[in-house]
């Protein structure tokens, strides 16, 4: 791991994470990836138990189990990911067409979280994704793939919006170039997320609300406000914040936590859970984006 970081000593912030994770996956023959998948399910179950315990402290009669179906609302990004893999791609890109493989699938933090939740939650659970999709071919592809993955879409495709896209050019197993166009997610006004706020506020709706920190702070606050709406006695809600990167943890999650503490915090509010990695923890704690060397230490 130290050798991998030394070879990428100039990296900082969110760029450190892929290097660390790829090295861990390589050294463990994929065991670390499988462990993270199990950890995701465990954290979700633990978070629900914590939220129920929090509600039970003030509720009469107390809930004895969380037998009711889990309803997850994810607010975040969805994109059409296209990866072109060219074996033996030269370090300098030639001005020519090269043979390779091109594959497209759904990406984006929000879509990935929703897909994972739908895959691991038991029958009866529902997963809904509030995102931004355009009325274009990419949006139709994303919607179709998510439907096959049993993820419901809250927002219909918008005619005046382009679906987010991510393009990667890979050299064997290494990404040589990545281009992300998430401008639609960044530019969509908070007022367009009224349905997501209402879904989060529904007393009989989502029991788990996940916020992807790629959302603009104003949008995240709007969804969080819905999650903090009053609920019937004895019910609980989990508000899960996904920091995404050290930069987003610093610029969006940190102020969102402060906002939750001063504006929406209450004894009857949702239980707030974060799922940061090492660099994101350092950013949240120190107020600065850590360097690769500091993250390694």
pLDDT tens digits, residue range 24-47?
777 788 887 777 777 776 776 777
CB atoms within 10 A of CB 254: 18
How many domains does the chain fold into? 1
| Straight-line distance from the first to the last Cα atom of the chain, in angstroms, rounded to the nearest whole number | 11
Least confident span in 55-59, 76-80, 155-159, 257-261: 55-59
pTM of the model: 0.72
CA distance 161 to 164: 9
What average pLDDT does range 174-186 have in this prediction?
87
Least confident span in 12-16, 48-52, 208-212: 12-16
> 């895959």: which residue's tokens?
119
Cβ atoms of residues 268 and 233 within 8 Å:
no
Backbone angles phi, psi at 205, to 5 degrees: -100, -130
> 């987010």: which residue's tokens?
164
Secondary-structure breakdown of the chain: helix, strand, coil percentages, each rounded to the nearest 5? 45, 20, 35
pLDDT tens digits, residue range 196-233?
888 888 866 788 899 999 999 999 999 988 888 877 66
Cβ atoms of residues 166 and 129 within 8 Å:
no
pLDDT at 73: 93
Reduced to 3 states, what is the DSSP secondary structure of residue 252? helix
Name the maximum alpha-carbon separation found in the chain: 71
Per-residue DSSP letter, 192: G
Give CB contacts under 8 A, 24+ apart, made by 123-126: 124/69, 124/70, 125/69, 125/70, 125/71, 125/72, 126/69, 126/70, 126/71, 126/72, 126/152
The CATH number for 64's domain is 3.40.1190
Q: How confident is the model at residue 63 (pLDDT cuts 50, 70, 90)?
A: very low
- Domain span including residue 74: 2-296
Q: What sign for the dihedral angle of Cα 72, 77, 83, 88?
A: negative
Backbone angles phi, psi at 36, to 5 degrees: -65, -35
Pick the more confident residue, 58 or 279: 279
Question: Is the pLDDT confidence value at 52 over 80?
Answer: no
CA distance 233 to 56: 9
């Amino acid at each position: 791991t130290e050798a991998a970081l030394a070879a990428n000593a100039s990296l900082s912030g969110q760029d450190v994470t892929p290097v660390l994770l790829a090295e861990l996956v390589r050294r463990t023959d994929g065991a670390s990836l499988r462990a993270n998948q199990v950890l995701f399910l465990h954290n979700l179950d633990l978070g629900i138990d914590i939220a129920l315990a929090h509600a039970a402290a003030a509720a009469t009669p107390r809930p004895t189990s969380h037998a009711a179906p889990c309803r997850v609302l994810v607010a975040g990004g969805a994109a059409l990911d296209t990866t072109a893999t060219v074996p033996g791609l030269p370090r300098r890109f030639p001005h020519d067409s090269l043979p390779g493989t091109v594959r497209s699938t759904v990406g984006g933090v929000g879509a990935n979280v929703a897909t994972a939740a739908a895959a691991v939650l038991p029958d009866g659970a529902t997963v809904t994704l509030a995102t931004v999709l355009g009325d274009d071919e990419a949006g139709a592809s994303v919607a179709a793939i998510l439907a096959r993955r049993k993820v419901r879409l809250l927002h219909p495709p918008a005619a005046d919006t382009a679906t987010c896209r991510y393009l990667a050019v890979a050299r064997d197993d290494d990404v040589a170039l990545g281009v992300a166009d998430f401008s639609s997610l960044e530019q969509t006004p908070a007022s367009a997320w009224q349905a997501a706020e209402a879904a989060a506020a529904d007393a009989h709706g989502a029991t788990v609300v996940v916020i992807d920190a790629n959302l603009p702070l104003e949008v995240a606050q709007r969804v969080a406000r819905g999650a903090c709406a009053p609920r019937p006695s004895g019910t609980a809600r989990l508000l899960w914040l996904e920091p995404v990167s050290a930069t987003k943890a610093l610029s969006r999650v940190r102020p969102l936590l402060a906002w939750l503490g001063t504006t929406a915090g209450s004894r009857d509010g949702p239980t707030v859970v974060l799922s940061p990695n090492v660099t994101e923890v350092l950013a949240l704690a120190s107020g600065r984006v850590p360097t690769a060397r500091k993250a390694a230490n």
